[in-house]
Amino acid sequence: MRRILTLLILLSASFALAANPEPQKVSFASGGEMAQGLLYLPSGSGPHPALVVIHEWWGLNDWVKEQAAQYAALGYVALAVDLYRGQVANDPDAAHQLSRGLPQDRGVRDLVSAVHFLKQRKDVEAKRIGALGWCMGGGYAIQLAVAEPSLRSVVVNYGSLPTEQTSLAKIKASVLGNFGGKDMGILPASVDAFAVQMKQLGNPADVKIYPEAGHAFENPNNKLGYRSEEAEDAHQRIVTFLSRTLQK
């Protein structure tokens, strides 16, 4: 049944994508700089719920663009923020350099500015904005939830998690997390500790650890680590979670 439901969702998304195939390039103020991204619009005038979509350490590449387009097809105004200002890595060394060269405060500032940009749009319902990220982007998604209390929901896919109680207490968004049990960077123990702390703070996080999955198991471009069944389950969890927390 789950597989059939996922196929129906993807089929409906493909029809919607045919109607809105091209994103809009947008810029918005972030401190004294201009941040940028790609804006994917759903069909209809709205107002719609919205998502800030945050890329992996590779940058705003085709896979992340596909994810943003897919969520737009499901009814969200999806803003894929380009934290690297146009740069995209094709190998791990380059990705490492780009991620290390991104000041964390600038990255968070760009994402907070993206939320404010979405709030000002007439086709966005300002009180129904969430964030979604993978890998580095998952870590930035939860940092955005710390910095922007108006965020309604946040999805962290194998991203690093905050540990300080003062930071966790600032998270008002509903939290969903998908993690790999064999991830050597984001250890299951840290995920469990995060879940315990969030529960103690009265905002339980819905986290799931896939025992046989490693890092980046949702991305088919990860030839050695992609796991189709776990990726499909994680995707369905995300779709259901966002529908519950952002859709009317």
pTM (two decimals): 0.91
pLDDT at res. 21: 61
24: β partners: 39
> What pLDDT was estimated at residue 128?
98
pLDDT at 46: 87
216 within 8 A of 225, measured Cβ to Cβ: yes
Radius of gyration of the CA atoms of the chain, in A? 17
Element counts in the chain: helices (H) and strands (E): 8, 8
Q: Which domains does the chain have, with CATH numbers?
A: 2-246 (3.40.50.1820)
pLDDT tens over the chain, length 248 residues: 444 444 444 444 443 444 446 899 999 999 999 999 999 999 998 899 999 999 999 999 999 999 999 999 999 999 999 999 999 999 999 999 999 999 999 999 999 999 999 999 999 999 999 999 999 999 999 999 999 999 999 999 999 999 999 999 999 999 999 999 999 999 999 999 999 999 999 999 999 999 999 999 999 999 999 999 999 999 999 999 999 999 97
CA distance 230 to 173: 25
Of the candidates 180, 221, 171, the residue with the CA atom closest to the CA atom of residue 200: 171
With residue 102 as reference, give the H or E element that holds it.
none
pLDDT of residue 216: 97
The helix/strand/coil state of 210 is strand
At residue 185, the pLDDT reads: 95
